[in-house]
A and B are shown apart, each in its own frame.
Chain A
Amino acid sequence: MMPPIHVLVVDDEDVVCSNVIAFLEDEGFDVVSASSGEKALDIIASKKFDVGIMDMRLPGIDGNTLILKSHELQPDMKFLIHTGSTNYNLPRALTDIGLSENNIFQKPLIDMGVLVDAIQKLVKGNNI
């Protein structure tokens, strides 16, 4: 049996967060959640993750900063952006560390299956 894939879900909206965790756990992922960027960084500092699913609009540090800092902590960690913002533009800093439009998932997601596909592609080292 393959070692479990470790996923960190960061969202200040508890309902969203818990639903994503529920879905991913059902799909067999090792999922940890955080309700803010700061908390997420604490967790990342102590535990290794394969993929982080980040909300952008967060209390405290925003999603972009979180991703950059997480990347600094764990350079192998991949990221998916799960945002409700309609006018989100991918900053240059994030594209520099390998993110693209395809890493962005617009809320509301009708089928979380797309997240599962994206995580698996990232873990395999593929672009989405």
Chain B
Amino acid sequence: MSKENTEVLYGLYDDEVDLLKAVKTAKDDHLDIMDVYSPFPVHGLDPLLGLSESRLHIAGFIYGAIGTLTAFLFMTWVFTRDWPIIFGGKPYFSAPAFIPITFELTVLFSAVGMVVTFYIICGLGPGVVNPTLDDRITDDKFCIAFDTSDADEGAVEKLKSFLSNSGASEVNTKMI
């Protein structure tokens, strides 16, 4: 999905077991897979594709920490500096009473921040139109795609034979 007018050679597999085997073979043969598409998350795929662990949780922690500080410091500022009021004879800085809101804002900042980050780094969002290779990829087909824009004919043939030999039920080319 990176650049326009990419020529993509892709194979469709009927089962995730076949897909995993094929990806493993491709890895052993040092073939450069552009992407793998599936209708649901296939476990065991990430290490084969060399995908490093998602760092979303780190982002989530940072957003959460910002939420914690925002809530706690803001309430402290309001009640000790900006407009001190005594409630029920308690001190101005009554930390235990700040905890519920601090907790809620921690969760809110973390969740909203992470979700927004997720959509931005995946390039997804309202109104985004991503080209799809095949309508059945979100149904029951598992797809391995190669970028063949700059590949010569021999290389393309090699990829095609890899796809059909590794159990792909269909092999197609598409410009996206």
Query: Does B bind A?
Result: no
Give me the interface of B with A, judged by CB distance under 8 Å.
none
